[in-house]
Amino acid sequence: MLRWTAPEYDGGSLITGYVVEKRDLPEGKWMKASFANVIEHEFTVTGLTEDSKYDFRIIARNAAGAVSKPSETTGSITAKDEVDPPKCETDPMYNQTIVISAGETFTLEASMEGKPIPTAQWFKGDVEVENSARAEIKNTDFKALLIVKDAIRVDGGQYMLVLTNVAGTKTVPFSVKVLDRPGPSEGPLTADGTLNECAQIEVTSSYTMLVIENVDRFDTGKYVLTLENLSGSKSAFINVRVLDSPSAPTNLEVKDVKRNSVSLSWEPPLIDGGAKISHYIVEKREQKRMAFTSVCLPASTDQVKVSEAPLPPGKIVLVDVTRHTVTLSWEKPDHDGGSKITNYIVEMQPKGDDKWTVCSEVKALEATIEGLTTGEEYSFRVIAVNDKGRSDAKPLAASVVVKDITMEPIINLLFNTYSVKSGDDLKIDVPFKGRPQPEVSWKKDGQVLKQTTRVNVVTSKTSSKIVIKDATKEDVGKYEITLTNSVGTKTGEISVIILDKPGPPSNIKVDEVSADFICLSWDPPTYDGGCQINNYVVEKRDTTTTTWQIVSATVARTSIKVSRLTQGTEYQFRIAAENRYGKSHAVDSAPVVAQYPFEPPGSPTNLHVAHATKTGMLVVWGRPASDGGSPVIGYHVECKDQSSILWTKVNRGLLAETQFKMTGIEEGLQYQFRVYAENIAGIGPCTKASEPVAARDPCEPPHNLRVTNITRTSVSLFWEKPEYDGGVKITGYIVERKELPNGRWLKCNFTNLQDTYFDVTGLTEDVQYDFHVIAKNSAELLSVPSETTGPVTVKDDVDPPTIILEDKFRQLVVIKAGDIIRVDAEITGRPLPVVSWSKDGKEIEAKARCEITSTNFATTLIVRDAIRRDSGQYVLTLHNVYRVFAENAAGLSAPSIACPLTKAEDPQFLPSPPAKPKIVDSTKTTVTLSWNKPLFDGGAPVTGYRVEYRKTLDDEWIVGVQNTKNTEFTVVGLTPGAEYVFVVKSINKIGVSESSPESDKQVAKEREEEPIFDISNEMRKTLIVRDGSSFTMTVPFRGKPIPSVTWTKPDVDLRVRMKDRNSILWQRVNKMVIRATHFKVTNINAGLIYEFKVAAENAAGISAFSKVSDAVLAIDACGKWRIPVPM
């Protein structure tokens, strides 16, 4: 059999099969060994010649019809039976002794392998275990199983599993201990000692028997039986009397001798043989004779029966009393006088009457006296009568008042639960009493109990009995007896348990399905057979066969994971419950296919090249829209040259991230990429090929982006070319804008822009925008965006012209004749101002020696070969010029004369007030406020804010600050404990706004805030410091009142030492570990002067001690003190 793994790369199409080839060694040709398509990753090559050598290889084929190169060969393999000694694996629980209780079932199980398949034998001790009703052996080719049912004590011991094949033998031990009732004690004792050797004792799981054969009188005595187990012991005794012939009489003497008679006397024998001596036998013999003859012969007289009157009856009991009757019962006399009792006479005596009257003559031991007067008190007595006469009268202990007696029914349940083995008879007897006689009714599980030929109810005056023949599990349930009379009703419940095999499990569910395992669960049987479910037996079968295989016969829980399944195969399972009385019927599950419950993932999304250079590219993609039901475990990336048709896998292992950096590319070539996602179920489809991207360095972004002009609908931008063009010419620019604060970047130019300036039009007035520029080169590579302009508000804006000169030009500049005069100036202004240079009041014109260069943001004056007349005052003038053109169909007119600069602006008003101010902080005398800027500034910038306040009980407002430019202010000089409200007013050049809404009421008091650390992510990084150098850690915090600060180091133990200043001995102060950098020293003597020092300790050891502290006098502080100087 050959096995192999799938190729790492499938050529872009699914692998559809394999071809297996073989060749004879040493000079054979390669030939097909498989003539059908092999889909699996294993194949058994048949038709080989024994002891011949072969070589094998595998060829893969995909859905596109492409065939791979042959795999590496297996090397030389000789075709012969492979021999492998037996091997065995067992559950770790079998490494310890298996302990079970008697009556339970235990299973010994082991997985085995070997070549050829070994034979398995089970041994207990040295005896092989045979298959029987209780010991069931179920061995397969790969598993050995021994099931022992209804275990008894002798089933405990050492079991051995012996696996044997031609390669060897493997022995596996198992140890089993069965907990059962104790066996007989060694040497049960009689009254005299240990049993003799003739005693035989037999013990089973339910009874024990003692047999003594050929007993004699010495076996008489008291026998004690003792049962003992882990829970305790119990004893019982039996008195045994052995009847034997008596021993010989003793002290035989001749008392008197006469001519024809002899008087003899003797004493009774010492042993009477266990019974009374009935008579003696006297024998004689003549002196000359050897034989004895009997002297006394039995008398042959008529039988005479001696009798007399009987003794009085026994105890008399009052059974029942009604308003007209009395029922009595009594016991037989202790002695009948030697003659049979013929009848009993009952006599009665009314109260106050001396005469006894016969009221009843009966033969039974009970009589009912009728016709009595209600409310009268009577006395009763009973006389026994035989052939010789009447006995003495036996009176009732107390007189009886004739009246009705009422009593609520009383149920005397002997047991609350009855259990019986299936098929046996069950009797339930319930004694009761009540007056008047109650009516009895029975129910089962709430329904009236129906009597059948198998179920009968027998009720007497004092009890009710249910008799169930051949009990079945249908008889299980709650039985309810109800007694009802005129006084009340009483109900009792009895549970009946039928001991039998359990019912089948129910509701088999498939919890999880995978390619090689299936998890099942089920509900326990509704009927457990009256005892605990020991285990469940789980079997499986391939739906193409009818043969069931045991998965496990010892499942303790109601779930199991069935493993070692074949992917794609449909299985069916059946489950049976088992208790000590047997195994239930099995219940079948629905067929289920062993396969992954999910599919390969979909194709990744948004594949693109995020960055490209001449040496590498960064490929980025998104997760698939569908993961197929299982998490994606990785990705595969393929690439190709745009002009090629062959895709090449570029990652060696699975990629966990959604990006891949590819290196080793050729500069100038254009590359495309595609990506596959993979989960446990396999590899999904690939993405569409990405757009071709050239392997070139990108150009740098434009720089020095500035806004040159702003109107109410447009913004003019200017920038400078990138410093690096990526090795090819810059062909254009892309201008993008974003509306603030939450807009998206949108393209502004829809044609190629080659200039380094652009007017963005179509903007919305009073809306803020941000702008950036992207450069593009001839390789169609785009740069990253430039730095943004920052927020720009679109509105007509006029800035006066400004000039920025170097400081040296603000003083007299001295130039030598022949040198160059160069003046550089930066200029600003909106709209762009007109630049003019003048000297001594005359405008300078560009000439051969004089050169003027101006841009939108700078101007330069250069005078070459300076001469003396070039000395003077040079003036740079900036001004905005407005002029008007007229236009008709013929064209534009000449411009008008330029007018003076006029600034266009909106009308201006008072600003709106700020929103309601918020209370930020407070102390006993101050309150800190904050507020937001007003929504409308009145058309003129807000120059400040006025804060006013008043007490809540006053109407007069007090100015806290006349004008502050900030939006936060602290009002001081408040009265501690007083309550205040605050308002804020906006100020612009027009005036002061209305008041804002009043703030929340605030009492001038200290505010308490929990301490908080303001620790940034940078501060959380590990600080690395060179040994011996210093370092500083700064941690911002806040809290009200200002919190005290303590630094600790968790792995440092501070050891504190102290001593009296006049002593030389240091003593340790702390017994526990100190984590903080402060410690309170106690148990010191008042008036002494102490010094202290501290050392730190960590896992590496103890540091040197610090310098000794200043001397401290141990005294309660009451002012300044001075250390006394020793004289």
Could you tell me if 812 and 881 lie in one domain?
yes
Is 926 part of a structural domain of the chain?
yes
Could you tell me if 453 and 491 lie in one domain?
yes
Could you tell me if 687 and 715 lie in one domain?
no
Could you tell me if 54 and 101 lie in one domain?
no
Could you tell me if 511 and 581 lie in one domain?
yes
d(CA 316, CA 333) in angstroms, rounded, equals 11
Q: Are 84 and 160 in contact (CB under 8 A)?
A: no
Q: What does the H/E/C string look like for 18-76?
A: EEEEEEECCCCCCEECCCCCECCCEECCCCCCCCCEEEEEEEEEECCCCECCCCCCCCC
Strands (E), 703-820: 703-710, 715-720, 730-739, 745-747, 757-760, 768-777, 792-793, 799-805
Is 293 part of a structural domain of the chain?
no
User: 388-399 pLDDT, tens per residue?
Assistant: 899 999 999 889
Among 538, 572, 593, the domain-final residue is 593
d(CA 740, CA 763) in angstroms, rounded, equals 12
In the numeric block, the tokens 């008489």 are attached to: 220
Among 694, 717, 746, the domain-final residue is 694
Identity at 698, one-letter amino acid code: P
Omega before residue 26 within 30° of 0, cis: yes
CA proximity to 182, closest of 121, 220, 230, 142: 230
Q: Are 838 and 877 in contact (CB under 8 A)?
A: yes
Could you tell me if 838 and 776 lie in one domain?
no
How many C-beta neighbours within 10 Å does residue 988 have? 20
d(CA 751, CA 732) in angstroms, rounded, equals 9
Is 304 part of a structural domain of the chain?
no
Regions in the chain scoring below 50 on pLDDT = 187-192, 903-904, 1119-1127
At residue 923, the pLDDT reads 87
At residue 195, the pLDDT reads 56
Strands (E), 451-599: 455-459, 463-468, 477-484, 489-499, 506-513, 518-523, 535-542, 549-555, 559-562, 570-579, 582-583, 587-588, 592-593
**Distances in whole angstroms, Cα of residue 577 to Cα of each of 146, 506, 532, 536:** 18, 10, 10, 5
d(CA 958, CA 978) in angstroms, rounded, equals 15
CA proximity to 496, closest of 449, 462, 463: 449
Is 856 part of a structural domain of the chain?
yes
At residue 188, the pLDDT reads 47
At residue 303, the pLDDT reads 63
Domains in the chain, number:
12
Could you tell me if 139 and 193 lie in one domain?
no
Report CA dihedral (659, 664, 666, 670) to the nearest 10 degrees. Answer: -20
Among 62, 78, 94, the domain-final residue is 78
In terms of Cβ atoms closer than 10 Å to its own Cβ (0-12, 13-18, 19+), residue 417 is exposed
Handedness of CA 557, 558, 561, 562 (dihedral sign): positive
Domain containing residue 100: CATH number: 2.60.40.10
Phi-psi region of 1075 (alpha: psi -120 to 50; beta: other; left: phi over 0): alpha
Structure tokens given for 797:
């804006």
Is 300 part of a structural domain of the chain?
no
Could you tell me if 382 and 333 lie in one domain?
yes
Is 829 part of a structural domain of the chain?
yes
Let me know the angle formed at the C-alpha of 470 by 466 and 471, rounded to the nearest 5 degrees: 65
In terms of Cβ atoms closer than 10 Å to its own Cβ (0-12, 13-18, 19+), residue 304 is exposed
Q: Are 343 and 291 in contact (CB under 8 A)?
A: no
Is 410 part of a structural domain of the chain?
no
Q: How, if at all, do strands 2-3 and 42-43 pair?
A: antiparallel
Could you tell me if 744 and 711 lie in one domain?
yes
Q: To which H or E segment does residue 986 belong?
A: strand 979-987
> Is residue 94 classed as helix, strand or coil in its secondary structure?
helix
CA proximity to 1057, closest of 1085, 1090, 1019: 1090
93 alpha carbon, distance to own chain's centre: 25
d(CA 240, CA 217) in angstroms, rounded, equals 10
Phi, psi of 95 (to 5 degrees): -70, -15
Q: Are 550 and 581 in contact (CB under 8 A)?
A: no
CA proximity to 573, closest of 515, 519, 514, 502: 519
Is 1121 part of a structural domain of the chain?
no
Q: Put the strands of the sheet holding 958-964 in their side by side order.
A: 958-964, 944-951, 979-987, 1002-1003
The parent domain of residue 1056 ranges over: 1046-1113
> Is residue 1091 classed as helix, strand or coil in its secondary structure?
strand
Could you tell me if 1094 and 1054 lie in one domain?
yes
Beta bridge partners of 950: 981
How many C-beta neighbours within 10 Å does residue 1039 have? 13
Report CA dihedral (809, 811, 815, 819) to the nearest 10 degrees. Answer: 0
At residue 192, the pLDDT reads 46
Handedness of CA 553, 557, 559, 560 (dihedral sign): negative
Q: Are 785 and 775 in contact (CB under 8 A)?
A: no
Could you tell me if 175 and 195 lie in one domain?
no
Could you tell me if 494 and 527 lie in one domain?
no
Q: Are 578 and 588 in contact (CB under 8 A)?
A: no
Q: Are 927 and 974 in contact (CB under 8 A)?
A: yes
Q: Are 817 and 859 in contact (CB under 8 A)?
A: no
